[in-house]
Structures are given as structure tokens and as C-alpha cells.
Structure 1
Amino acid sequence: MGNNQHTAPEHQEKNRTLTLLAVLVILVIIGTGFSLFAGSVRIPLSKILAGSLGETEQAVLVHLRLPRTIGCVFAGGALALSGLIIQSVLANPLAAPNIIGIHSGAGLMTTIACALFPNVFNLVPAASFAGALMASQLVLFLARKVQASKTTLLLAGLAISSIFSALSDLVITFWPDALIGYTGFRMGSLSGVSMERILPGLMAIILAMMISTLCAPELEVLSMGENQATMIGLNSKRWTQIFLVLSSLLAGGTISFCGLIGFIGLIVPQIIRKLFANESSFRILMIANVLAGAFLLLMADFLGRVLFAPFEISCGILLSLAGGPYFLFLLLKSRRRSLFSQKKSKTKNDRKALHDH
């Protein structure tokens, strides 16, 4: 009887988790359908099933929308997973690839690669990864050596991001014709992507996703804090480096074909943590983040195409408009919680002093 009562809540929670995952899968399928078949050129599913697509419709579907949709799914999932990893490693819910400078680092190295080697397209993913890794290592150095608080670390990350962005602009000043689509790259867009362009980044993303999922238990332990992880027996320094490399692969692979898309790595992990509040498995959280990130980018890209048609708004702009205010809200909420904690601690100390007196 007692065992049945004990397992009933666990069974309900498991059913809730499976239901939420199923809903996320359905949302990704719906988003994929919108991305593939809706827009300025409507492509009815009945025509595809009947094999009666015209040449124009077939060209739009195969050469334009299919690579764009695949890019959205993997880029959105990669950015969300990268955000979850960074937040767990730094034990900071406000950390994200675009906020702490990883995006700007990848963008700087991509800009340099395109300026110096304009015809070597395969160099872009490697340059993006190198820049993302450089930025993540710099943030980790600040977190460890300076013993920065969560808020100070975010401000340092924003400063690093600003420096890297300025250096990117400096490179473009000296090589003005290096990046024809540099504006689109800075705003973040999947307009005009091809399978050839996304393939190298896609391979890096898939590899990093697979390894991250396999290493989910280690990330779960690491999220408890370095001291706690060391007490359990985990080599926290080594695993921190491993996860930062994986996060850099995810961010760099994405940036190599769609530019600097921000705030997915901040927003999605926050939402998923609330939806899966009682979920103890980090592997489930990873899968949920990938699905939610894919859906968010699919819809942002689709809305950017149709809201002001025939003009197109980059998905990066829409996400920044939504993510900027949300980040400020989280920052103010974190600050309020910190002040409340300090006030509570001061009151407790005052009471103790009066009692001792």
C-alpha cells in the first residue's frame, strides 16, 4: 500500500514529462510545416503527395526552404543546448552564448577568416569554433581567477562582447568587400542558406549534441557547483573544459551558417526549467531544450518572412526584440532576490547580536 502511494506521484510526473516532450515534438512538426509549405509561394502538401509540383514550386521547396528549415531546426536546438550547458557550468541562470561574448568571439574569428581567406568557405566553421572557444575560455578565466559574482561576470561578458564586436567592425573597415552579407551576418539570418553552406556546421552541431547527451550525468553533477562536484568525485576542471568545448562547437557551428542569433540560449533554458521543474534527468532537459529551441527559431524565421512580406525581417531582430526585455526582467529579478537575501541575512545577524548582548 505504502509503495503504491509512493510510486503514484512518480508515475504522474513521468506521464507529465512524456506529455510535455510529445507536445514539443508536435510543435516542431507544425513549425517545420509552416517553414516548408507556407509563405509568399504556397506549396500544398497534396501536390507533393501527388507528385504534381511545378518547376518553380519544386525549386523553392528543395533549394530554398528545405535547407532553411533544416538550418532552423539544428541552429535553434544547438543554441538552446549551448545556453543550458553554459548556465550549468557557470552556475548562472543569466548566462547565454550571446551575453557572455561567445557569439562575438565566433563572429570576430569568422570575420577575420572571410577577410583573409575569402575563397576558403570551409574555413568558416573552424574559425567560428575557435572564436567561440577563445571567448568561453576568457569568461572561465574571469570566473575562476577574479572570483567574480554572477552580476559582475555578466557585465564582464558584455564588455568582452563589445570589444570583439568593435574588432569585427575594425576588420571590416580595412577589408570592406570581405563580407558582402556582413550586415545579415550581424543581425542573424537564414536567408539564402544552401545545403553546401550549412553542412560543415551541421556536422559539428550533431557531433556536439550526441556527446553532450551522453555526458548529461556529468553536467548534472557539475551544475551543483565545483566544490560539490569535487566532493562527489568528479574532476570538475576537466569536465568544465569539455563542456565549454562542446558549447563552443554548438555555438560556432550555428554561427558559421546563420550569423549571430541571440537570446535563444537565454530564453529557452529558463522556460524549460519551469516546465520541467520536477524533472531530475538532465538528459530529458537537454532533449526538451533542443526541441523548444528548434521550434522557437522555426517560428521566428517564418514570422520574419511573412509579417511584412514582400520585405523580410531577419529572425535575429525578432528574437532580440523579445529577448532584450526578457533579459532585463531576469536581471532585475535576480538583483531583487539578492537584495532580499542580504536584508534577510542582516536581520538575522542583528537578532543574534541582540540575543548575545
Structure 2
Amino acid sequence: MTLNFTQTHRNALLGLLLALLGLLNSVTLAQQTTAPCDYTTATVTLTSAGGSGGGTVRYVLVDAAGLIRQVSSTPTFGGLTGSQSYTALALSYEGQAMNLTAGQPLSAVSASCFNWSNDLPIRVCVSAGDADGDGVIDTNDRCPDTPTGTVVNAYGCPLSLSVCDYSTPTVTFNSTGGSGTGMVRYILADSIGVIRQINTTPTFSGLAGTRTYMALALSYEGPVMNLTVGQPLSAVSASCLAWSDALSTRVCVPASTDCDYTIGTVISLRNSGGSQTPNTQTRYLLEDSTGLLVQVNQQSTFTTIGLTPGIYRAYSLVYTDNQPLTLQPGTRLTIPTGVCVAQSDVLTLRLCADCIPKCVPIIVSRLTR
């Protein structure tokens, strides 16, 4: 039997189809609601059962895009953050497994003989904690016990302290703990987290004026990026690193009335160490109290002609020829990301006028004939 549709029938059928499509869209949207959370902790431990043979077993956590995030010898995964969906699997294999590393797609894993377990979808919802309530989450907080109401920087440390802890230009801290065979560096950063000094010991010198600082220790293995003066702490990275908590301290160094040099003389400094390898440059820098470079020289001497009385800081930089480093008087020292530069300790100098006015009493006598 043949069915013939009039225009009215066609319109009715079209309306029915649109209604059905609307219903299907509603069902699809309902299926896309957020899945409930299976875990609310940063560490998840699953149960493993079954398996056989004498091969190797690895437990793999994969993200929603199918990329491997963690590979473990036990069914425990740690360091999870935020609200994310994962798939957990177990891999049994013999011989060597290829591409079984974080960042690789699961489909790239191969071995001469291997077998995957069933997929276990899980959803992890980890709330970012802020134990001291300063607005900086605990994972980023370098000062975890800040008193309530304290104004803090991006690292959870006080922007300013009211009580002076030190009154000398050289400060030494105690260092305890630490482990491993990696490198350790001690860092002094200003109150907003910009690196000011980097040393192999917890001693910092050349401090002047009244300022609040953050002192930290950094342990790392392998190459480290952006560990240079002028970089923010957040820019420092390495394949394996650990920061200590920060020690906030206020240094109040009284202004000195003693002059190291007077205008018109030559500032001549002694230097030792450094690098004499080919394609290595050494520059000696003099900057004023505001941080502006006033002289950049190849020798450790500076002229005082044209300078004004005040506090200056002298230090040296060692870097290779291929480093894109610009040292220009009248600008602030800026070390680009990824540039490898070694900086000496800072030497603070006080420059005075060549003639200091003094009040000399004058006695006037009347002359008579």
C-alpha cells in the first residue's frame, strides 16, 4: 500500500520529528551531568586482584584525554588535585615495555607480551585547602602558619613585618634537615617574592636599609631553570625540586655615616674566583640605591665622576657569550628566563662628597688705630 502525504501531513510529520529531536536532546543533556566523586583525597589506593605469571605488573592512571598521568608499582596514586576524571588500569608484561611513561598516550604502550586489565573509571574531587585562611592555598603557601589578618604576598608570607630581627648588613640563618644527594641553594627574596641573593650557605650580606625578606632553601636534582637574581620564586623549576618553608624576617640596618669613597676618587675592588674558560664573559656592575645600573665595566674599578653621594651596590656577573643578556646603564638588571648567569655577593658602598661642609665659628674683632 502506498502512503501519500499532503502538505498538511508533511507539516504534522515535521513537527513530530522536531519534537522527537527535542526529546533526544533533553536526554543527551541529562546524561552529561557531572559524575559523583569517588574520592576526595589527593591520594587514592585501589584494590588489585587476580593476575598470574612471572612478569612485571604496573598500575597506570590515565586522564580523560587518554594520556598517562602516573605509573606505579602499587595501586596507589598520589598528588591528585582539583576535580578530574581518570581511568585506572593494571598492565602485566614480560620483557621491556615501550612508552610506559607519564605524558604518553595509553595507545602507544607496547611490549612483546602484555595484557591490560579492565578499565576502572574514577572521579577524584580534591578541594584546595587553606589551613591558615590567608587566601593562598596550602600547596602554594610557603608560610603555612600566618597569623589571622596578616596581609600576605602570593606565597602566603607577610608583605611587611613591624619588628626588626637583625640590624647588621650580614645575616646568617640556621639550616636543618634535608636529604638526598642533590644540590641545595639558599635564597633571599624580597617581600613580593623576587630573588635578591642566592648562596651555597645560609648567609646573606650587603643588606641595607629597612626591609622585609623571605629566606628559603631549595633542594633540586639535575638542571634548574630561572634560579637567578631578579626572577620571581614561582619561575624556578627543575625535574625534581623541593622548597623549604619560608622564614620571614625584617632587617633594619642603620644608615652609616662612614664613607667608603669620595666623589673624585676611583673605586677599586679586589676580586677572586670566577671562570676563565673560553667564551665566558665577566662584567662588574655598579647600581644605585634604587636598583638602576650606573656603570658596567670589564674590570673591577668604577669612576665616581658624575655620581651623586649615596649608597651604591657593586657585584659581578659571569655568563657565556651566547647568552642574550643586555647590561645597559640607566636600566635595571633583568635576566631573561632560561639564561644561565652566576652572580657574586653584593658589596654595599657609601659614596660621599669630596668636601663635607662644616660649621666653623668666626670671630670678628674691631680694628683700631
Identify the TM-score tier after normalising by the shorter chain: under 0.3
TM-score between both structures, scaled by the size of structure 2: 0.19
- Whose radius of gyration is greater, 1 or 2? 2
Structure with greater helix percent: 1
- Between 1 and 2, higher relative CO (CA 8 Å, sep ≥ 6) is seen in 1
TM-score between both structures, scaled by the size of structure 1: 0.19
